Amino acid sequence: MSNPPTSSATDQQLVAQVLGGNTAAFGQLMQRTQGLVSQMVSKMIRHPADRPDVGQDVYLKVFKNLAGFKFQAKFSTWVGQITYNTCLMYLEKKQLVLVDPAEPEPDSAVEEGRRAPPPLVAGTEYDPETALFGQNLADILSTTIEQLPPLYRTLIALYHQQELSYEEIAQITSLPGGTVKNYLFRARKLLKHHLLATYQRDDL
């Protein structure tokens, strides 16, 4: 009977344990990468009902190809590659686009008459009104990100939420580093455009 994996075990040690027949070690690997996988799937797959099947397919592929992984990259990066490619296959099957190459870039200048949200200045006392405004803004940001194309949503999540480098994102998506930077720039620009329009319309 194999010993249960410890939380201090490295990814390489856990992979070796899985290949030696310790299925509990694979559960540990899943726990370490499920945040990345679930976030990528949620950003690339718009329909919530389809996400569990895609996530399950990701880990089936990880398990099936584990013996061929030689740690030329971080384990999480490799899992990210499988996740990205699995989502791409889903989008192709559903005939959905990852990003519209003909999509016009929004003007980066703030149009006259639009007012930006007032800055939030941290004080020494809790201000319920400021906290509520901050929560409203966070909700708008989250909602607006979901309106972006799947690739833009994914890049924003990987860079700003998962805090991955351009190089790591390039490895995951198989996009050149310059393309990753360009797409992120366009994604932020489009997000800012939508946020300003939403803020003006709702008059928060």
Structure tokens at 179: 């393309």
Residue ranges of domains in the chain: 11-93, 128-202
Q: Give the mean pLDDT of 143-165.
A: 90
What pLDDT, on a 0 to 100 scale, did the predictor assign at position 65?
96
* pLDDT at 133 > cutoff 60: no
User: Could you give the CA distance from residue 158 to residue 43 in angstroms, rounded to a whole number?
Assistant: 10
Confidence of residue 164 (pLDDT cuts 50, 70, 90): very high
- 114 pLDDT higher than 50: no
CB atoms closer than 10 angstroms to residue 189: 15
- Tell me the pLDDT of the chain averaged across its residues: 80
What are the tokens at 14?
């856990």
In whole angstroms, what is the distance from residue 66 CA to residue 179 CA? 29
* Cβ partners under 8 Å of residue 99, min gap 6: 149, 150, 151, 152, 183
Determine the Cα–Cα distance for residues 178 and 82; give it in Å rounded to an integer: 22
Confidence band, pLDDT 50/70/90 cuts, at residue 112:
very low
Judge whether residue 76 has pLDDT over 70: yes
* Residues with Cβ within 8 Å of residue 47, at least 6 apart in sequence: none
CATH of 128-202, one of 3.40.47.10, 1.10.3720.10, 1.10.10.10, 3.40.50.300: 1.10.10.10
* Average pLDDT score over residue span 89-93: 90
Q: Which of 56-60, 117-121, 181-185, 194-198 has the lowest mean pLDDT?
A: 117-121
CA-nearest of 147, 119, 150, 121 to 51 is 150
pLDDT of res. 137: 62
Contact 24, 2 (CB under 8 A): yes
What CATH fold (topology level) applies to the domain 11-93? Rna Polymerase Sigma Factor; Chain: A (1.10.1740)
Predicted pLDDT at 194: 77
Question: Considering the entire predicted model, what is its pTM?
Answer: 0.76
